Amino acid sequence: MNEPLAERVRPKNLEDYISQNHLVGEKGSLTNQIKKGLIPSLILWGPPGTGKTTLANIIAEESKRPFYTLSAINSGVKDIREVIDKAKQSGGLFTAKNPILFIDEIHRFSKSQQDSLLAAVEKGWVTLIGATTENPSFEVIPALLSRCQVYILNAFDKNDLEALLVRAIKEDSVLQTKKINLKETEALMRLSAGDGRKLLNIFELVVNSEEGENIEITNDLVMSKVQKNTVLYDKTGEQHYDIISAFIKSIRGSDPNGAVYWLARMIEGGEDVKFIARRLLISASEDIGLANPTALVIANNCFQAVTTIGYPEARIILSQCAIYLATSAKSNASYAAIGKAQQLVKQTGDLSVPLDLRNAPTKLMKDIGYGKDYKYAHSYENNFVMAEFLPNEISGTSFYTPGNNQRENALKDFLKNRWKDKYNF
Domain stop point among 126, 152, 178: 152
Domain stop point among 172, 201, 225: 225
| 9 in any annotated domain | no
Residues 303 and 384 both lie in one domain: no
Task: Give dist(CA 273, CA 260) in Å, integer.
Answer: 14
pLDDT of 180:
93
Residue range(s) defining the domain that contains residue 199: 158-225
Residues 409 and 357 both lie in one domain: yes
| 344 in any annotated domain | no
Residues 242 and 211 both lie in one domain: no
Residues 147 and 60 both lie in one domain: yes
| 13 in any annotated domain | no
Task: Give dist(CA 54, CA 371) in Å, integer.
Answer: 58
| 1 in any annotated domain | no
pLDDT of 94:
40
Residues 179 and 147 both lie in one domain: no
pLDDT of 78:
86
Residues 148 and 162 both lie in one domain: no
SS3 for 253-295 is CCCHHHHHHHHHHHHHCCCCHHHHHHHHHHHHHHHHHHHCCHH
CATH number at residue 281: 1.20.272.10
Task: Give dist(CA 334, CA 342) in Å, integer.
Answer: 12
- Tell me if the bond preceding 312 is cis, omega within 30° of 0: yes
Cα 337 to Cα 295, 341, 403: the distances in Å are: 19, 6, 11
| 338 in any annotated domain | no
CA 322 from chain centre, in angstroms, equals: 22
Task: Give dist(CA 192, CA 201) in Å, integer.
Answer: 9
> How many domains would you assign to the chain?
4
| Strand, helix or coil for residue 245 | helix
pLDDT of 373:
86
Task: Give dist(CA 40, CA 31) in Å, integer.
Answer: 13
Contact 100, 108 (CB under 8 A): no
CATH number at residue 128: 3.40.50.300
Domain stop point among 196, 225, 254: 225
pLDDT of 233:
53
What is the β-pairing status of strands 179-182 and 214-217? parallel
Query: In degrees to the nearest 10, what's the CA dihedral of 67, 68, 72, 75?
Result: 170
Residues of the chain with pLDDT under 70: 1, 90-97, 227-239
CATH number at residue 374: 1.10.3710
CATH number at residue 199: 1.10.8
What is the β-pairing status of strands 100-104 and 67-71? parallel
Residues 321 and 268 both lie in one domain: yes
Residues 129 and 171 both lie in one domain: no
Residues 141 and 35 both lie in one domain: yes
Q: What is the pLDDT of residues 360-411, one digit of tens each?
A: 778 877 777 888 888 888 988 889 888 888 998 998 888 898 999 999 999 8
| 379 in any annotated domain | yes
Residues 186 and 127 both lie in one domain: no
Report which secondary-structure segment, H or E, holds 103. Answer: strand 100-104
Residues 171 and 257 both lie in one domain: no
| 14 in any annotated domain | no
| 317 in any annotated domain | yes
Residues 31 and 126 both lie in one domain: yes
